[in-house]
Chain A
């Protein structure tokens, strides 16, 4: 079976501005794939090309084995898209939003009704079925947008920043639902600028920055490859001028603290304390994709 997504030298320009600069990527069937990067990295433009609404400026792109330029209709009939702004129809009820969307995909009214029941349950919105969309919370709206995108039993689901703007509780509920989809074998492609989201949901990811892919791999392999196992975060009083060069470890100076990449954080901290450089505060944590991004680009994901 063809790959879910295959791109070669994929490029998108808007006039002089290059939004996506010749990227290569492959998403296999059943895989959960994330594009991680800061705002403006080119993730959404890539998503819009995959979703067939935005034509590529150059390069090759194949989605579910078809060409978005010529087979857009066939691709869209097998795909679900969750946009950043939900784009629900506020003139319709929660249930109608799913049913009427399903009709576009050729569902009979009976099929649309039973599909809506099933998806309302999946999205935990059964008790809001007759409600107006505007009465829903942000998390509920997002779950409804996801339910609506599943109405055609898609082979591939695209999610653009699925949890941006949601509170932690709503995010966790959403992650749990998306994880369930992944378990069912649905291919997921999502963009995010939250490293924890990419770690939670993706089997494999690309890190994007300034229209290019700067790294690719599984969350754990990226961490192993680009940063140490642990990170020691330390703070010194502003006037202190502490030299850490003798540690022989990679360090990163942030505005409010210093990161030391080490395989054994507690041991490194002990070295500092024993040599009279006790920080005013310290924290040892697991290295994350945030550190990978920082190591690769010298900048943080979410400023």
Chain B
């Protein structure tokens, strides 16, 4: 026998991302297509289409036209949506139906590390989609500042703020809970309302006070606000900006703390 290969510490996480990247590359072309068509549809349908009816009052939103307002906001809201669907069916498949994560538990990668790598990977996935969003926004002439280059990073943070807690749920529901039957409910009763009330389409101040506060507590609005400010170059106070980032990171951290436990439960008991 040859000498045992020693892989210790977090370096093995790099191999996890490499593995995910190679899987991702296989569907790259359809990802690119979907990544460009999605925002194109939204901007044409809602930004331009609905915009014809509401552009006259766009000044109240602080932009020249409605598409300027809704376009950047949708980058954040779409990041949430993508992260949610990756954290539900995709993650359920990796955990159970396809067993990819089960086989990884026999490598040096620990399950707790695996969860961190998993959330970071979904962050990267949302980053890639946000970059394509940014390209479409550029084509529409909506980008008003070089700070817009930071927007995909914020989109990734928004994605992780949802990926961590939702993946934690998926881990739990696959071990003890209701399993994938719960996924459509989470999407319909959780993610779609959040999408509509995220502040992407109109300021959340327009909402009834209870909904407005729900919107403020949930991470997506923080992503929407920060991304819109970065893309339009309207500037956001340093303190407010840091506040938004802190909320996104808190959800990610809390989700990781819980998700590490639920993944240990589903993969290692």
A residues in contact (CB < 8 Å) with B: 14, 48, 51, 53-55, 72-74, 76-81, 83, 85-92, 96, 100-101, 103-107, 148-149, 152-153, 155, 185-186
Are B19 and A100 in contact, with the CB atoms below 8 A? yes
Q: Name B110's contact: one of A72, A79, A101 (CB within 8 Å).
A: A72
Q: In the complex, what distance in Å separates the CA atom of A186 from the CA atom of B100? A: 26
Contact assessment for A74 and B8 in the assembled complex, using a CB-CB cutoff below 8 Å: yes
Q: Which residues of A contact B102 (CB under 8 A)?
A: 83, 85, 87
A91 touches which one: B23, B108, B267 (CB < 8 A)? B23
Chain B neighbourhood of A90, CB < 8 A: 98
B104, CB-defined interface residue at 8 Å: yes
Q: How far is the CA of A186 from the CA of B1 in the complex (A)?
A: 8
Chain A's closest residue to B22 (CB) is A100
Given contacts A76-B108, A77-B8, list 7 more A-B pairs with CB under 8 A.
Answer: A51-B105, A78-B5, A83-B103, A83-B106, A85-B102, A105-B108, A185-B1
Interface contact B22-A78, CB-CB below 8 Å: no
By a CB distance below 8 angstroms, the chain A residues around B104 are 104
Question: For the complex, is B208 an interface residue (Cβ under 8 Å from A)?
Answer: no
Q: Which of A72, A101, A104 has the most chain B CB atoms closer than 10 A to its own CB?
A: A104
B98: chain A residues at CB < 8 Å are 87, 89-90
How far is the CB of A141 from the nearest CB of chain B, in Å? Answer: 11
Given A87-B103, A90-B98, A92-B22, residue A153 in contact with residue B2 (CB < 8 A) = yes
Contact A76 B107 (CB under 8 A): yes
In the assembled complex, 11 residue pairs joining A and B whose CB atoms fall closer than 8 Å, in A order, are: A51-B106, A54-B269, A77-B6, A78-B4, A101-B107, A104-B7, A104-B15, A104-B107, A105-B108, A106-B7, A155-B1
**Bound-state Cα–Cα, A153 to B98, Å:** 25
Chain B 1-31: CB-based contact to A (< 8 A → 1; otherwise 0): 1101111100010011011001100100000
CB of B141 closer than 8 Å to a CB of A: no
State whether B26 touches A91 (Cβ < 8 A).
yes
Residue of A nearest to B103 (CB): A87
Chain B residues, CB < 8 A from A92: 22-23
A77 and B111 form a contact (CB under 8 A): no
Against A, the Cβ 8 Å flags (1 = close, 0 = not) of B173-215 are: 0000000000000000000000000000000000000000000
Cβ-closest chain A residue relative to B27: A91
Q: Nearest residue in B to A99 (C-beta to C-beta)?
A: B22
**Separation of A91 and B93 alpha carbons in the complex (Å):** 12
Interface residue SS majority, chain B? loop
Report yes or no: A106 in contact with B6, Cβ–Cβ below 8 A.
yes
A-chain residues with CB within 8 Å of residue B22 when the two chains form the complex: 92, 96, 100
Contact of A149 with B18 in the complex, beta carbons under 8 Å: no
Closest approach, in angstroms, between the C-beta of A11 and any C-beta of chain B? 14
Residue of B nearest to A75 (CB): B108
Q: Which A residue sits closest to B98, measured CB to CB? A: A90
Report the nearest B residue to A71, measured CB to CB: B8
Q: How far is the CA of A152 from the CA of B109 in the complex (A)?
A: 14
- C-alpha gap A14/B6 in the complex (Å): 33
Q: Which residues of B contact A78 (CB under 8 A)?
A: 4-5
Chain B residue nearest to A45 (CB atoms) is B269
- Set A14, A55, A77, A80: member contacting B108, Cβ < 8 A: A77
Q: Does B235 contact A (CB under 8 A)?
A: no
Residue in B2, B15, B102, B103 with the greatest tally of chain A CB atoms within 10 Å: B103
Asked if B237 is an interface residue, CB under 8 A from chain A, the answer is: no
| Other-chain residue from B7, B16, B18, B267 in contact with A77 (beta carbon distance below 8 A) | B7
Given the interface pairs A77-B5, A81-B106, the reply to whether A103 lies near B19 with Cβ below 8 Å is yes
Please determine whether A73 and B4 come into contact, CB atoms closer than 8 angstroms.
no
Instruction: Give the residues in chain B near A100, CB-CB below 8 Å.
Output: 15, 18-19, 22
